[in-house]
Amino acid sequence: MSCLRPGEIYDYLEKEMAGDQRAKVEEHLKSCSRCQEALLRRQALLEGLNRLPRLEPPQEFARQVMSGLPELSPKKIWVVAAAGGLYLLFNLTIVFWVLATRLKVMSWTWEILKHIFTLALDISRLIFLGFKYLQALVKSFSLSGKVIINFLANLLPPAVTLALFLLGIFLSIAMAFCLIKNLKLSERS
């Protein structure tokens, strides 16, 4: 083996050399004083580097870093996830649209979408009307209740009125209970 190149010396010292090559180098070093000298010089340099003092941070440094950290709120992650989801949905819509156009299924796709939209609109109208009628019903009940209470209050002493009112509530609950029970019975039969 010829004399070692500086790169090979570092590879040998830093254990960056394969086993067989390493053995050859060791064999050569036994007989070559020039390479031994070159190796010693570089070894001294590497040892010097290992002995270099390391700077230590102040004791409170880690705490200082921790106190300066921003809030890594899970919300932020959710916002990112939601944005990602919306973006994906948008892309899927585009892909679906392109595919539908290419496959010439656009007409029936459009029909389906139209029907879904009309259905959603009808359901919304129904819910709105339902609320409207319910509101009117509640209002009429409260008005008739007020009329009856006022009538009874004028006609009867307050204690009797209150007793009758409570009795009315009790009878209403009992009637509702019976109705529900009957309904359940008829379902079973």
Binding region for other proteins (CB under 8 A): 5-7, 10, 16, 33-34, 37, 40-42, 44-46, 48-49, 51-58, 61-62, 64-66, 68-70, 72, 74, 77, 80
Closer Cβ to other proteins, 64 or 101, answer by number: 64
Closer Cβ to other proteins, 46 or 99, answer by number: 46
Query: In sequence order, which residues have a C-beta less than 8 Å from that of residue 29 and are 6 or more positions away?
Result: 4, 35, 36, 39
User: How far apart are CB 22 and other proteins at their closest, in Å?
Assistant: 17
Specify whether the CB–CB gap between 160 and 153 falls below 8 A.
Answer: no
Closer Cβ to other proteins, 34 or 104, answer by number: 34
Closer Cβ to other proteins, 11 or 152, answer by number: 11
Count, residues in the chain: 189
Residue 163 one-letter amino acid = A
Burial class (CB in 10 A: 0-12, 13-18, 19+), 92: exposed
User: How far apart are CB 100 and other proteins at their closest, in Å?
Assistant: 35
Cα–Cα distance for residue pair 42/14, rounded to 1 Å: 11
User: How far apart are CB 37 and other proteins at their closest, in Å?
Assistant: 4
What is the sign of the dihedral through the CA atoms of 138, 139, 140 and 144? positive
User: How far apart are CB 65 and other proteins at their closest, in Å?
Assistant: 5
